[in-house]
Every structure is written in structure tokens, then in C-alpha cells.
Amino acid sequence: MKSYIKYIIAALAAITIAFCVASCDSFVEVDLPNSQLTGEAVFETTATADAALLNIYARMRDRGMLSGNSAGMSNALGNYADELDFYGNASSPMFFFNSNSLVATNGTAADYWNNAYNQIYQANAVLEGVAGSTGIPQADKDRMRGEALFLRALLHFYLTNLYGEIPYVMTTDYEVNKVISKSTQDVLYAQLIDDLEMATTLLPEAYLSEGKSRANRYAAFALLSRVYLYNGQWAEASNAASAVINQEATYSMAPTVENVFLKNSPETILQMPPANNGAQTELGTTFNVLAAPPANSALRNDFLDAFETGDLRQQFWMGQITGGSTVYYFPRKYRQYTSGAESTEYSILLRLPEVYLIRAEARAMQGELTGAAEDLDAVRLRAGLVGTTAQTQTALLLAIARERRVELFAEYGHRFFDLKRTGAIDVVLGMVKPGWNAEDKRLPLPQNELTLNPNLLPQNSGY
């Protein structure tokens, strides 16, 4: 497995027309030169610089923690928390997540790290290349800079919530990166906020392409609201969420839960199309169970207890299959699991309901209980439920946490991160995960990275 250091050495000269045809596909909107792109040539024109940006999206979709395949975060952290049970072979990477038996040499944890820092390297290369370009108009430079800052922040956000203290890499300079040290959580969140606040000023309001497949200003505000929430900045989280919610002409709650995950859903803020038109999302392939017992993962039976009677999400977002006398339930948010004439679904990274729930929680934490209940009900009513009966701050926060669990299940580790950030993880997972202990809330730093760069020491406790 390639190390982070080797990725840092890699240059954009490795981006070729062959790779983009194979991996970018629906992201690619321009013709590239029929030759290998050198680092200098990439940033001679807007079209080729955009191709470098699109390559980052394609790599996020295809490799590492944001991939929808069975090793991606949606499946792995669903197994690590209390959403999924694993039915596959004990040699599978998911067995070690489900049984919370990760070690420092775990390949999936190392793969998340390596791919994320490779993608961060590419974002930094765009930032540096665009800044030095004489052929790209200033308006395009600003927009590309905003997009690269958004992507850099997105990747660092997940890294720090998976591993704890990590390096915040802001350069392609090998001499700097090979000895880089970890940053504290305060420093990491300050830099996340700086990147995203700048992105909100640089990115356009309009999407650059159909399908909401590239970040715009409100994708940056949506992620910024999440970062503020995680950092306990309630007023800022509420304001950033409002910036998205107020764009009623662009975003609205879907009329029915059945259509939420279709590619033209009004709730979508940012999504990634499959590699080829007509293909299904990898999330659809990963989670749909076609035979019993499941070959991979299925929902824990006790997860069903989280739903209230009449919740339409249980009807439309869960599938079931029977094997003998056992019924297995599985996430069915993405219903297309084979190729067709066209792709009906894209992998959704950011959705409007999360933003409503962010504002609800931020308002509740500030004592704005009426507004918090209204935001919570925006999600509940779409799910076929009546308005919340919670009236106190404590009751509302519990109701919001429950709503996040049933709204965001099997999506990029929301449940794991919510348990972790609210301090409930040890109590909740301690009851359902044999051998769970407080040290399990962070993944191990890849052992080979610690060997290559001792400044990354110490290893996370417990590994």
C-alpha cells in the first residue's frame, strides 16, 4: 500500500487523459489535450485546471473513506457503531470494524489516511497552480480556489473526526510534508473554519454543472454549519445553516421520502454521479441485500426500535429479505443496484435535512426552543410524523438526536460521529459492542506512517 509520503512526492504530471476517461467520466465537461498533462500545462487554461479539480471528485468517489463501496465510511462506520451487523467472512475488513478489533496495521484505516492525503495534495496543487497561472481569468481563479479550499476542508474534517489529532496539510512541498506534525483539535477546527469561510466568499451561488455535482457557495455553508456545530459554536452554526435554508428557490424538502435519493431531489446540496451514466451508485451495490443470509452487512434488529410508528422512512428507506425463519433488514435509500439506461441516483454528500437538524440543535443549545422545534418538525413532517411534543431543552436535544439517527443512518458515519461528539459513544456502544472501550473512538494511525515520520507520534492510545 502506498504511503502518504509517496503520495506527497507524486505530482500532477500523473494526471493523464486515460485516467480521466476511466475515472472522471460524468465529472468531465471539457476535452483534454491528447497528451500527458504536466504540472505547468494543467494551469495554462481554465479547462485543464478544471479537469484537475474534477479529478479530485472522481478519486473521492472511487477511493477511500468517501467511496460508497463496502470499505467506505458509510458501511465501515455503520458496522463500527450500532447501525449494522456483519454476516460475512471473518477475514473481511468489515469484520474488524464490526467486532471493534482494529489494530495499527489495519489496511482499511491506512487506506482512508493515504487516499485522503493524496486527494488533499491534489487540492493544494490546484491552489498553488491557479495562484501562479497567467492564463486563467481572475474570476475563474477565485472560483477554483474556493472549490479546492472546500475539498481540502471536507477531507480534513473527516480525517480529524476519524483519527483525532492529525496534520493539516496546506502545501505540496515535500520537504515540509515529510516531517509535518499533528495539530491540536483547536488548531484543526480553526483552519477548517478559515478554509470554509474563505470558500463561501469565493464560490459562486450557481452550480457549475447539472446534477449539483460540484461545490457551490451553499455547499460550503452547509459544511461550515456542521463544522461550527461540532466545534460548539452554536450561533455561527445556526447562521451558516440559515444561509442554506433561506435559498428556497434552490433547496426544499422533498414532497415524499420515496424520492429523496433520486438524482434530481430538491433536498440535495452536493452529490457525486456514478463513474458511467447508467451505472448504479456504489452505495446501492453495497447495501442492497439480494439473498439471505446477507453476504456483507445488514441493519441491526434493534435499530428498528429507533423509528416511531408511522415513520415513512422505515417503509421506504429499508428493505427486507427472509432466509428461513429470519428476516434481515437493510438500508435501501439507494434503490438502483444494477446498471440501466441511465443513472437514477447519485451518491449524496450533503442534504438539506441535515442542515435543518444542525440549526435545530444549535437553536436548542442557545435556548431558542420554538425555532428548534420548527426545524425539527420540517424533517418530521416530511417523514409522515406529527410535530414534536418536546418542550424543554433537554427533551428537544434528545428528540433531535433521535431524528438524526433515523434520518441520516448509513450515510458517511453520521451516527458514529454524533455519538462521539455528544459524549454518548461509550455508554451507547458499551451496551451493544463486546469489548468496547473509550480508546476505540479513534482509528489507529497507520503504523507505516509513524515509521516514516516520527513527528506523527504518539500512536493513538489503545493501539
| Interval 124-139: pLDDT, tens | 999 999 999 999 999 9
pLDDT digits over 377-401, tens only? 999 999 999 999 999 999 999 999 9
- What pLDDT score does 23 carry? 44
Query: Would you say 80 and 108 are in contact if contact means Cβ atoms under 8 Å apart?
Result: no
Separation of alpha carbons 206 and 101, rounded Å: 45
- What pLDDT score does 147 carry? 98
Kindly tell me if the per-residue pLDDT of 181 is higher than 60: yes
- What pLDDT score does 39 carry? 66
Q: What is the widest separation between alpha-carbon atoms in the chain?
A: 68
User: Per-residue pLDDT averaged across 35-60, rounded?
Assistant: 85
Model confidence at 22, pLDDT cuts 50, 70, 90, reads very low
| CA count, 13 A, side-chain hemisphere, 197 | 10
- Reported pTM: 0.93
User: Per-residue pLDDT averaged across 165-175, rounded?
Assistant: 97
Kindly tell me if the per-residue pLDDT of 463 is higher than 70: yes
Separation of alpha carbons 139 and 143, rounded Å: 6
Ordered by start, the domain boundaries in the chain are 1-194
- What pLDDT score does 210 carry? 84
- What pLDDT score does 1 carry? 36
User: Per-residue pLDDT averaged across 22-38, rounded?
Assistant: 41
Long-range Cβ pairs for the range 96-101 (8 Å, 24+): 98/297, 99/434, 99/435, 100/429, 100/433, 100/434, 100/435, 100/436, 100/440, 101/435
Which architecture, in CATH terms, is 1-194?
Answer: Alpha Horseshoe (1.25)
Cell numbers describing residue 125: 496543487
Which of 124, 41, 112 minimizes the C-alpha distance to 77? 112
Tell me the torsion sign for CA atoms 226, 228, 234, 235: negative
pLDDT digits over 293-348, tens only? 999 999 999 999 999 999 999 999 999 999 999 999 999 999 999 999 999 999 99
pLDDT digits over 246-264, tens only? 999 999 999 999 999 999 9
